[in-house]
Structures are given as C-alpha cells and as structure tokens.
A and B are shown apart, each in its own frame.
Chain A
Amino acid sequence: MIELMQVTKCFNAGKSNEFTAVDSVSLTIGQGLVTVLKGPSGSGKTTLLTLIGCMARPSSGRIRLNDINASFFPETSRKGGFDISSLPERFLTEIRRDTFGFIFQQFNLIKGITVLENIMLPAYPTGRGHALFRKRALELLEMFNISRHETSRVEWLSGGELQRVAIARALINDPAVIVADEPTAHLDSKLSCEFMEIIGNLKAEGKTILIASHDPIVYDSRLADQVIEMRDGRITGSGLVS
C-alpha cells in the first residue's frame, strides 16, 4: 500500500548544524496490517511518520501510495499509485485529510472547545454536510463510550478519555491509514492495553495502521504484523511477526 524507496530527510541542509533524521529508508507497509516503528527517541521514527503522513517532504527518495482515493487523481490510474514526494501542497493536504488519521503523542486537541467539535474538526474544511459528519462523530463517541462528554470541554477529560477523543478525531474522515506517534506515552498499562484493543478493532475493520512506539505493550503485541527497528535514522532490523 505504501512504499518508501531510499527516503532521506535532512534538516538545515548545507548549514553547520545539518542533521539527517531519516537516512535512506526503504520500506513497504502492507494494506490492512499493523506496522510498528520501534526505536529509542531520536531514532527518526516521528520524522518518518511525518513523511509518510504527507506533513513534510523527503529531501530525497520516493514515497508511493497505492489504492488511494483522491479527487485530483483519475480513477483509471489509481492501481498504479502515485509518488507523493512531488505533489503540490494542496494535494498533500487533501491526502493528509482523507487518507490519514493522526493520533499524536500530546493528543493535540484544541482547548476550550467541546469534545464533539474537536472530533469534527478534520471534517470542517472538506465541505461535506455538517449533519453527515456530526452523525458520524456521535457514532464514534458512542463507539468509544464517551458520549456523556459530548459537550464537555477537552480540558475536563482524563488521559484515557483524551486518548479516545484523539482516536475518534482521527477516524472522522474515515481514513484508510491510521498513524499514531507514541500513543501510549501518557497512558498507564491498563489504558495502554485498552488502546491496543481499539487498534485491534480498527485492524479488524481493515484499516492500515502505523504506530511509532518504544513501549513493549505496543511492539510486543500480537496485533503487530510488522515491527521495524530504527536507530539513528536507519532501519536496523525488521521482521514480519507471523
């Protein structure tokens, strides 16, 4: 589904503080599978996620997406996929919005706004009918058992509830790929296991899941189909867990 070929990301290129965060990474992420990027902090996991998630462009190398629905992309050539590293910003935003659902380490919810609105936020600029995505947001609240917080502000919620709001927000546009960066960093073991349960459900729905984590609850989970170890921007080991 997602193919990375010799992807490199440099920061401050050409300056004295040049720093290569991701170094010649080649990788295939299979559709409907759970892929875990494992490695210490600073190993380039997050940068790799931002590259795959169309938030930043690689300095060199290609990232191909296959079987993606995008309005600008004719349906006939969809099977062949396309290279996101050369797309203009506008198309990248559309892909990011419709194809990827992000779960951030800090949750990145907007304070002072109700839970329901936070969940609906990624759908706002799509131009879809408000009633449609409101219904979907309410269903997600129901699904994650946080309906009672619909009109609460996010700052009144506990960590586990925030996590579920963040997941619901990631799912509002019904993306094909879920990208999670250190999702269990702020959760205790019980909540982390609950999170993995949710991931299991999403996998069962056929979502492709990509998680960066150094938490054994995640990378040792039986849900992980593929674990990729990273260090200093390079892949040091990868294995398909049967």
Chain B
Amino acid sequence: MSSFINRHRNIIDFALSSLLRRKIKNISLLGVYTLIIFVLASLIFFVHALRREAALILKNAPDMVVQRLMAGRHELIPVDYGQKISSIRGVQDVVPRLWGYYFDPAIGSNYTVMVPRDNMVQPDNIIIGTGVARVRKASVRDLIAFQAYDKTPLLLMIQQILPYESELVAADLILMSEQDFQSMFNLPKGYATDLAVSVANPRELVTVATKIAEQFPDTRPILKSEILRTYDSVFDWRGGMMIVIMSAAILSFIIFAWDKATGLSAEERKEIGILKSIGWETSDVLFLKFWEGIVISLSAFLCGVLLAYGHVFFFSATIFEHALKGWSILYPQFRLVPAIDAFQLTVLFALSVLPYTVATIVPAWLAASADPDAAMRS
C-alpha cells in the first residue's frame, strides 16, 4: 500500500514538474478552464436555487386561476362567472383577483398593481414592495403621485414597505384598496382580472377544471401544477442566453480535449520513449499522463465550482446581473438561499474532467505501447 502511494506521489511530482515547464501555457489553460467551469457552475447554482425557491414560494399558490380569453387575449372576467363556478361540486372558494400593470412614465419602470383581500390597505394608502421604494426613492408616509386612466393625478400615501425578504415575490408590487384601483383603472363594474379557485380535494382539481372549461368555453383554467411547472422550466437550457453559454462552454471543452488528443509533439513522444527505456512501465507513463490531465481539469473543476458558489450565494451572482436585468428598470435584488444540485454538478464533472483526462491519456497510450528500444535509436 505504501509502495502504491509512494509510486503515485513520485509520479505526481514528475507530472507537476513536467507541467511547470510550460508554466505560462499551462497556467493560462488552467485559468480559462476554471473560468468556463465557473460560469457553468454559477448558472447551475443560480438556476437550481431559484427553482427551489420558486417551489417553496408557490406551494401555496391558488389551486387554480381562471382567466377569460377574448380574441386570443387575456380579458377581464365577469364576477358572476365566479358565482356559477362556486356552485360546481368540489369547489371550495372562488375569489376574484384584481390586478394589473402600471407604467411609471417618470422612471420608465413597470409595477404590478394588486388589490389584496381583507382590506389590508386603507383607501388613499398603498403598500409597496422594496423595489418600488428603491426606484422611487420613497419611504413610509411619503406621497406618490400616479396618473389615473384619464391622466388625472392620483395621490396615494405609502402605508407600509414590504420587508426585504419579500423581494423575490413582491419587489414591484403596489397594493391598494379596491376603491383606488377603480379610480386608477376604471374597470367596468362587475369585472375582475381573473378568478382564484380553491378546491377541497386536490385530486378533484382536474375534474373541476374540465367542468369549468366545459361550462365556460371562453375561459382558460391554469392549474397550480402548471404554475409550478412554469418555474421548473424557467432558465431552461433551450433559452437563448443559456444555449449560447452552454454551447460556448461545450465547444471549449472539445477544443481543450482536441488539443490534447491530437497534439503529442515529437518531444513528448521522445520523452515517453526515454521514460520507458529507463524502466517506466506503460502503466507508469499512463499514470503520468493521467495525473497531468487531472492536475489541470480537476483543479479547474474544484476552483471553478467553489468560486461559482461564492459568486452566486455571497455576491448575489453579480456577473449575471446585467443579463438578468434585461430591459427592466426595476430589478429585484435578492440573495438566494444556497442550494446544491448534486446531479447537475456530477454531470458538469463528467463533462469537464473526464473527456480532458481521457484525451490526455489516449495518445500517450498509443505512444507508450511502442518498444522502449526506440529511445536508443533516436
């Protein structure tokens, strides 16, 4: 056992000396390799943490949301649809939701305006999300001027700012009373944005949804499972940015491996011959190449993943911020709850470490199986 460890430590010694001969080349290779793994691992961490958070937050989302469609577009739904829906067997409760968007011309940002249940907000008051407070530089008891539907000003006072923890769900929220919502948007009487339906027995959800769709052909029921699925596939690899990053990374891995697989220089070939002639076995030479590959690829993997973890969970993925912000003015600032997906990290490991190492070994294996007397003849 100790002889096995000695042998490998000796071989690692030589592999490191051998790599250090081309210090600049190998260190920059290690750097680029680490960078690519860093970007990929950051994405993996970010997306996984976000999906986990979405599942946690939306586990209590409405069982079903019923929208009305008109001419292919989301339209206001008559509240009396709700009364009829609540008479369907299995339906526990139907709550009309009032919500919409407000474009703030002063700042150029979009807010989500919502009427909460239970008179949470008094008339002439609003509760705002942290994002709104940030872009409007507003604090509690400040007055904010909105433009109503007829361009008349509407002054509302900030009653409360939602705490920082709510950023991920409520950064752009403005909660107001039904009365203010009405004076702001002038909704026709007896209409709501959509209906939130809760069902007593979750197993009956699909049956209820089918009945609703049958009775009201102009509506679209959206199930909670569909809502959850939406967030399971957000940042899917087919998304534009994702596919660009992924294909760039995979191409780089191929280039690295290609460089190794094809490039056994005459010098390296000669060295393998020398090693064999002074008593290295073929397996020793292969272990040397294995360690040379591992020193680059495993080190890059470990450093890249650790840096990515720090980047995503300690520095809130600052590098992705610009891409995520897109064209939005109001950008939520949240610190993700750390989460690791072992499976995806394993895939990243298999994708980054294995091909490079194999590509390092194979050409050496071809050269090392030659007779050792080749070195004598050079």
Contacts and interface: CB of A to CB of B under 8 A. Distances in A.
B279 A93 contact: yes
Contact of A124 (B271, B284, B377): B284
B6 A90 contact: no
A162 B281 CA distance: 25
A96 B278 CA distance: 7
Interface stretch (B9-17, B75-83, B90-98, B343-351): B9-17
Secondary structure dominating the interface of B: helix
Contact of B278 (A49, A111, A121, A130): A121
A110 interface: yes
B10 A125 contact: yes
A169 B278 contact: yes
A102 B18 contact: no
Interface residues of B, number: 31
Given A55-B371, A55-B372, A129-B6, A124 B280 contact: yes
Contact of B279 (A111, A125, A181): A125
Given A46-B376, A117-B14, A127 B275 contact: no
Interface string B268-296: 00010011011111101000000000000
A104 B18 contact: no
Contacts of B21: 111-113
Interface residues of A, number: 37
Most chain B CB within 10 A, of A46, A93, A109, is at: A93
Interface in B1-31: 2-4, 6-7, 9-11, 13-14, 17-18, 21
25 contacts: A46-B376, A46-B377, A47-B373, A55-B277, A55-B372, A55-B376, A90-B281, A96-B277, A96-B279, A97-B279, A102-B277, A104-B277, A106-B378, A109-B274, A121-B14, A124-B11, A124-B14, A124-B284, A125-B7, A125-B279, A126-B3, A126-B7, A127-B4, A127-B7, A128-B6
Interface of B: 2-4, 6-7, 9-11, 13-14, 17-18, 21, 267, 271, 274-275, 277-282, 284, 371-373, 375-378
Interface of A: 46-47, 49-50, 55-56, 89-90, 93-94, 96-98, 102, 104, 106, 108-114, 117, 121-130, 169, 173, 181
